[in-house]
Structure 1
């Protein structure tokens, strides 16, 4: 995740605002290290910048929370996606299933 943080910092220094795609990429990068806390901080950044979450945002968050043993949070994120009328595709459901499986739930 260090290269992602460095790149986002560089973007800010260059006054290049993050967008949904860059935040989604940052959240996805957190999955490798199972850093769900950092991933959720990127979600807060999105909300602060009034960026729209999409199904990729939720799939990535669910995946990283699953790797971090946060299956309840994964289920809550699925419910948030449902309430936001985001497309609930097989990728999203697979991420939730893997999250529960990783936590033996």
Structure 2
């Protein structure tokens, strides 16, 4: 992941993304750069318009999708807790009714 971050940093700085510059960025960040990974990333990025990818990624509603299931889980949990409380209250009422029948 740090290789991609380094490439994005070079892109943001307006620099050409090549192996030498990317290796220097990674080294300065304290990452020991792997030559094979550098070559693979640089060669794959030559065919990609990074600016276009960033625009499309920013427009995608990725963050909204995971929030919906969490809200549903919270609703279900609240419903379950409410049912448990109602069942507990009903069983306590039954127990009290049984005790009152003992004493008349």
TM above 0.5: no
- Of the two, which has the highest radius of gyration? 2
**More relative contact order, 1 or 2 (CA 8 Å, 6+ apart):** 1
TM-score w.r.t. length of structure 1:
0.26
TM-score w.r.t. length of structure 2:
0.27
